[in-house]
Amino acid sequence: PEFPGLPVMASVENKMRGVRIEKLVLNISVGESGDRLTRAAKVLEQLTGQTPVFSKSRLTIRGFGIRRNDKIACHVTVRGAKAQELLERGLRVKEFELKSSCFSDSGCFGFGITEHIDLGMKYDPSTGIYGMDFYCQLARPVSAFPCASAATPASVLPTVSPRRTPRTGSFRPSPVSST
């Protein structure tokens, strides 16, 4: 898959060096539970065709009117061709240009848009307009099994002697039979 906004990072000959989209997370943070959050979930469902998951608040913040464990946001994780299509639509809104601060050290990136109708959705006055965050996680085909080379079967792992205490490394006296 080619993206006009992303640089080509690998040669075509070696498929294992190619970069692919592992997942794309779309997040709408409303900041309150209720009708606005339900409408935001409806927007994500129309956009992706998947049921969104609701995120809860960790803290009570009186200034924002948020209580602990209130549902305040919704998000969807998209993979495959649908993720590629949605990412391309999101990058088109940003004109395929992102700041360097949008990228992490691992090569993943995230950005936000202010209006969901810029993605090509029709405006519905009963729904309103919502901004959303895109976060894209990139991977190489090898990283599907990150520890495959270091994985060892359980039968090969060293066993701990029942007479050895794990903290000190000293031995307990073995039981002496009196025969």
Cα–Cα distance, 108 to 21 (Å, whole number): 9
Query: Cα dist. 44→3, 57, 172, 175 in Å?
Result: 23, 20, 61, 66
pLDDT value, residue 146: 56
Cα–Cα distance, 33 to 155 (Å, whole number): 50
pLDDT tens over the chain, length 179 residues: 556 555 555 455 777 778 889 999 999 999 888 899 999 999 999 999 999 999 999 999 898 888 999 999 999 999 999 999 999 999 999 999 999 999 998 889 999 999 999 998 999 999 999 999 999 999 887 755 555 555 555 555 555 555 555 555 555 555 665 55
Write the pLDDT tens digit of every residue in 85-121. Answer: 999 999 999 999 999 999 998 889 999 999 999 998 9
Residue that has been written with the tokens 């998000």 in this structure: 75
